[in-house]
Amino acid sequence: MKILDAAFGHPRGVLGRLGAMIMARMAGKRNAWFISLLDIQRNDHILEVGFGPGTVLQAISDIDTDGFIAGIDASPLMVKQASKRNAAAVGAGRMQLQQGFVQSLPYEDESFDKVVSINSVHIWPDKSVGVKEIRRVLKPGGLIALALQPPQTRDEGKIRQLGVELVELLNATSFQRTRLEFKPFKPIACVCALGIK
C-alpha cells in the first residue's frame, strides 16, 4: 500500500514520477469523456483539485482560451510536472498551479464557474469538508464534477455504487440538479458525479 501511495495517492520520489507517467499515458479517453461533461466555455474560470500530471488542465486550456484555470495538488512533484507540461499557459498568465489542499482552498468565495476533480476525492482527509470548501469557491450556478476510476476494483456494480455515494455527498452539501454519469471503460469503468451550486 505504501508503494501505491507513493506512486499514485501522494506521488513522491521515483515512484511518484513513474506513477505520473502511467497516469498521463492511460488517461486520454477518460479525460476526453470527463471534459465533455463540463460544457466548458471560452471564458470560464475553472479549478482542478488534485491535478496530478496536469493532462486534464492541458486539455481544458485548449478549450477555455479566454478564461482562467487554476489547480491545486498536495504533491510538490505533481505541481512541478504539471507546471512543465502547461508551461505556455502558466507563462501567459492563463493558468496558476500551486501546492494546496481541498480542505483549505486558497481562493476567494465565488471565484470559479467550475471545480473539477478526477481520482482524488477518495484520498481527501474529509470528503464532506472538501465538498463544502468547493461549494464556497463556486459562483452561484457553478458546476462541481467529481470523477473516479478506482484501480482497486473492476466490478462495475461497485464502481456505480461509489458514484451513487458521491452524488449523495453532493446532495448532502446542498448541490442542486445532481446526476451520475457512468462510462464502461476497459479494464476499469469510470463514474462522475455532477451538481450545480
Q: pLDDT tens string for the chain (197 positions)?
A: 444 343 344 445 544 444 444 444 556 788 889 999 999 998 999 999 999 999 999 999 988 789 999 999 999 999 999 999 999 999 999 999 999 999 999 999 999 999 999 999 999 999 999 999 999 999 999 999 999 998 777 889 999 999 999 999 999 999 999 999 999 887 888 999 999 99
Is-contact 61 69, C-beta < 8 A?
A: yes
Cell numbers at residue 13, please? 520520489
Which of 179, 186, 157 has the alpha carbon at shortest distance from 29? Answer: 186
Residue 48 to residue 94: CA distance in whole angstroms: 14
Residue 20 to residue 59: CA distance in whole angstroms: 16
Residue with cell 461549494: 135
pTM for the whole structure: 0.85
Return the beta strands (E) in 44-134 as ranges: 45-49, 68-73, 95-99, 112-118
Is-contact 59 95, C-beta < 8 A?
A: no
Is-contact 102 133, C-beta < 8 A?
A: yes
- Thinking of the domain 28-196, which architecture would CATH place it in? 3-Layer(aba) Sandwich (3.40)
